[in-house]
Amino acid sequence: MTTTIKIIGSLTSPFVRICRVVCEELSLPYKLEETPPFAKMTPEQNAALIENNPLMKVPIMVDGGQKVIDSRIIISWLLKKHKGGGDFRTDFPATADEDNIVTTLYGIMDAGVLRYIMHNSYPDIDMNSAYMGRSLERIGHGLDWLDGQQSLGKSFGVPEALLVCCLEWYKKRAIYDWQPYKNLAALHKKFENRDSLVKTRIPENV
């Protein structure tokens, strides 16, 4: 009997989305338990989040009796425990270079989330000074490096799925214009209509 996996998180988070994409690619039944943005959580919702993850972050996955926190660890758990089918690569990471690509993607997503939260929490903040300026540089350098990675897009696996999640979240939240990066834009066009990405896309109205 197959146990339905529970993923706790929001529809808008790229970190939550990549876990859902992997579940879709592995044909794993899962239930998304939606959480509101942190600022809009009730005391009860906040307490439930802390109970599930002391770091107060999403996603959180519950697979059978096992609770797993952090999207990168969740992805590793899913790939090791569940066998996939089709053309989704499950041998990740096959090389250190692939790990570096994913680490860079996580880094520029973290930088983007920081900028989004700070801009919305403190509208008067100078987004180009001090650490905010550093976060912008990190995104630019990261995208430039990723644009030159020839191994990206040779097949479809975690790096490619994470790239699309990142780029679409950037566009949705107006974080950074990635269209000038021709190789990344071409990869987005190549994979954007894949079923797993269509099914998990951030809704227009959120």
Distance CA 76, CA 74 (A): 5
| Claim to verify: residue 133 and residue 162 sit in the same structural domain | yes
DSSP 156: B
Ranges 78-87, 149-158, 167-176, 191-200: which has the least confidence: 78-87
Give the residue from 91, 27, 17 showing the smallest Cα distance to 9: 17
- Length of the chain, in residues: 206
Mean pLDDT for all residues in the chain: 94
- From 27, 57, 81, the end of a domain falls on 81
Residues 115 and 173 in one domain: yes
Tens of pLDDT, residue by residue over 52-63, are 999 999 999 999
d(CA 105, CA 162): 7
**SS3 state of residue 44:** helix
- What is the rounded average pLDDT of the residues 108-129? 95
The Cα 54–Cα 164 span in angstroms is 29
Other Cβ atoms closer than 10 A to 102: 19
User: Taking the model in full, what pTM does it have?
Assistant: 0.95
CB atoms within 10 A of CB 83: 9
Average pLDDT over residues 173-184: 98
pLDDT, one tens digit per residue, over 132-142 is: 999 999 999 99
Instruction: State which of 24, 56, 81 marks the end of a domain.
Output: 81
Q: Is residue 124 part of a domain?
A: yes
- Secondary element (H or E) of residue 199: helix 195-199
**Strand order through the sheet with 60-63:** 30-34, 5-9, 60-63, 66-69
Do 115 and 187 fall into the same domain? yes
